[in-house]
């Protein structure tokens, strides 16, 4: 696994990292206002989250976003690791879109106007998967620490 991100990966990593980092910092800053709606949406899509305290859940989510955003922006974090973390995180966001009622048009994947803000997160899945696939498609000797 390469120790440093390739130069051509950094524009996407910086853009996504800044976006995710800002999202996390905003949640931490507005924790009292954001806890209930954030937790409410999450538990509607993922019922196992019902037992979590809304403030604790939102704080934990925000910290994860800050960590992920920073990891994407720091070139010393290997792209395979950063991409895998982004893919996992954005997979959860995509799950919100797929599970919450009213986000998609009846019988399909096309978003309703209400679903567009969640449907757009599919670009995060694509970027994360691209980082992972690029690293895994390189010959093993080229993936060695460089």
Per-residue pLDDT tens digits for 63-92: 999 999 999 999 999 999 999 999 999 999
Q: How confident is the model at residue 139 (pLDDT cuts 50, 70, 90)?
A: confident
pTM, to two decimals? 0.89
Tell me if 40 is assigned to some domain: yes
Whether residue 146 has pLDDT greater than 60: no
Question: Mean pLDDT over all residues of the chain?
Answer: 93
Tell me if 1 is assigned to some domain: no
Rg of the chain over all Cα atoms, to the nearest angstrom = 17
Per-position b or e across 35-64, b if 16+ CB within 10 A of its CB = beebbeebbebeeeeeeeebeebbbebbeb
* Counted domains in the chain: 1
Tell me if 34 is assigned to some domain: yes
Tell me if 85 is assigned to some domain: yes
76 Cβ neighbours under 8 A, 6+ residues apart? 3, 4
Tell me if 2 is assigned to some domain: no
Spatial distance between the Cα atoms of 131 and 87, rounded to a whole number of angstroms: 9
Per-residue pLDDT tens digits for 88-108: 999 999 999 999 999 999 999
Instruction: Give the pLDDT of residue 4.
Output: 84
Tell me if 33 is assigned to some domain: yes
Whether residue 142 has pLDDT greater than 90: no
Tell me if 90 is assigned to some domain: yes
21 Cβ neighbours under 8 A, 6+ residues apart? 65, 66, 68, 69, 70, 73
Count Cβ atoms below 10 Å from residue 98 Cβ, excluding itself: 13
Whether residue 140 has pLDDT greater than 90: no
Whether residue 141 has pLDDT greater than 90: no
| φ/ψ (deg, to 5) at 6 | -75, 150
Structural domain span for residue 82 = 7-143
């Amino acid at each position: 696994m390469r120790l440093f991100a390739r130069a051509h990966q950094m524009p996407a990593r910086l853009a996504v990292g800044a976006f995710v980092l800002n999202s996390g910092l905003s949640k931490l800053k507005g924790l009292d206002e954001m806890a209930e709606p954030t937790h409410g949406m999450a538990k509607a899509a993922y019922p196992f989250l019902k037992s979590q305290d809304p403030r604790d859940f939102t704080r934990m989510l925000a910290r994860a976003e800050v960590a992920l955003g920073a990891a994407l922006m720091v070139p010393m974090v290997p792209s395979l690791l950063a991409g895998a973390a982004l893919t996992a995180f954005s997979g959860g966001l995509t799950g919100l879109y797929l599970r919450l009622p009213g986000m998609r048009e009846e019988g399909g994947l096309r978003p309703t106007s209400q679903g567009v803000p969640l449907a757009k997160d599919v670009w995060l899945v694509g970027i994360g998967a691209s980082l992972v696939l690029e690293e895994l498609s390189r010959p093993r000797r080229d993936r060695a620490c460089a």
